[in-house]
Chains A and B, each alone.
Chain A
C-alpha cells in the first residue's frame, strides 16, 4: 500500500514541478521536489526501496527534459546511495543535519547539471551559472521541510 502511495506522491510532485507557477520562479529557478523526495525516502524507508524510488524519480524528471542523456536517473541514484552511506556514519535525526545534506546535494546536483550543459558546448555566462546554482539549491533546501513532513507521514 505504502509503495503505491509513494508512486502516487512521485507523480504529484513531478506534476507540481512541471507546472510550477512562473510567479514563484525566482530568476527562472524552481525547487527540485523530486530530488528532495528521493533523498527523504532514504531517511524513512529501507535503502533498496529508496534507491529504486530515486531512480524512478530521476527517470521521470529526465522524461520531461530536452537532453537525451539520462543524467538525473544516474545522479539521483548516486545521491541516494551517498546519503545512505552518510546516514550510517553520522546521526541524521536532527533536522538541521538533514537540511545541510539536502543543501550540499542540491549544490552538487546543480553543479553536475550545469557542467553537463557546458560540456555539451552550451554557453552560459558565469554570472547566470552561479545565480542558477545558488538560487536553485537554496530554493530546493527551503522546500525540503515540507517534503520531509510528507514522507514522515507516509512512513508512519
Chain B
C-alpha cells in the first residue's frame, strides 16, 4: 500500500537528521522558544487566575473567612512560640551549637505546564538572573514539588515529583526506613525498594533523606496511603500521597543552596 520513492525516503531521513541535530545538540531553539512564549504565557496565566477568581467567587469567600479565623489562631500561637524561640536561641548559644545556615529561597510563579500527558513538568518565571540553576530543589508551602532541570535567563523548567523520571531518596519520619520515592504520572507517588520487614504503616509521613544529593534533608514529601507487596514478593512498596497539590500549583519556592 505504501511505496515511498527513494527520493522521498532520502529527503525524509535528511529532514529527520536535521531536526535531530537542531533539537538535540542546540539548546538555542529551546531557550528562544521559551523566551518567545514567556510574555503571553504570563498574560494568560494572569487571565486564568482572574477568571477563576470570578467563577469561584463564593467558594473563595467562604475559604477567606475560614482562613482569616485560622490566621487569627496562628497569630496567637506565634506570639506564644516567639517566647519559646527566644529561649531556644539562648540555650543553643549557651551550648555553643553550630548554627545551621537557613535556606535561601527564591519565589517563582508557574506560567506553563507540560504540553503532553506523558511527563509532569512546569515552567516557572524565574531563571539564571535570579540565581536559579539546574538541579536545585523546588518546594511550596505544602511540601516538595520537584527539581530544576533546565534554567534559561528568565525562566526555568521544573520536573515535578510525580514524573516517572524523578526519584527522591526518602525516609519514613517515624521509623527512619529508607526507600526511593518516584512518580507514576498519576495523582500518587510510589515508594519502592522497601524490605519485607520494613517499618512502615499507613499514615506515616515521608521526608527527604540525607542520602539525596539534590534535596535538602527533611523536606516533606507526602503521607503513606497504602502498602503492597512487589510482584517478585521480595520487597514491598508504599503508595504515597504527595503533600503538595501537584496538579494545580501556582507558586513555588526554589531552594538556593
Contact = CB atoms under 8 A, between A and B. Distances in A.
A28 B116 contact: no
B137 to A, nearest CB: 16
Interface residues of A, number: 52
B117 A28 contact: yes
Contacts of B37: 11, 14-15, 18, 64
B20 A19 contact: no
B247 interface: yes
Contacts of A136: 116-117
Interface string B169-203: 00000000000001011110010100000000000
Contact of A85 (B2, B41, B44): B2
Interface string B152-163: 000001010001
B141 interface: no
Given A30-B117, A128-B186, A132-B117, A64 B149 contact: no
A15 B132 CA distance: 24
B120 interface: yes
Contact of A81 (B12, B163, B164): B12
**What's the dominant secondary structure at chain A's contact region?**
helix
B73 interface: no
Interface in A56-103: 58-70, 72-74, 77, 81-82, 85, 89
A48 to B, nearest CB: 9
Interface residues of B, number: 50
A77 B12 contact: yes
B113 A18 contact: yes
A32 B45 contact: no
B248 A74 contact: no
Contact of A19 (B33, B112, B184): B112
Contact of B33 (A25, A64, A122): A64
Contacts of B120: 28
A18 B115 contact: yes
Interface string B102-128: 000000000111111111110100000
Interface in A5-53: 11, 14-15, 17-22, 25, 27-30, 32, 34, 51
A74 B17 CA distance: 9
Contacts of B36: 11
Interface of B: 1-2, 4, 12, 15-16, 19-20, 22-24, 29-30, 33-34, 36-37, 40-41, 44-45, 48, 111-121, 123, 149-150, 157, 159, 163-165, 182, 184-187, 190, 192, 247-248
Interface of A: 11, 14-15, 17-22, 25, 27-30, 32, 34, 51, 55, 58-70, 72-74, 77, 81-82, 85, 89, 110, 113-114, 117, 120, 122-125, 128, 132, 135-136
Given A11-B37, A64-B114, A66-B150, 5 more contacts: A19-B111, A77-B16, A117-B119, A117-B164, A128-B186
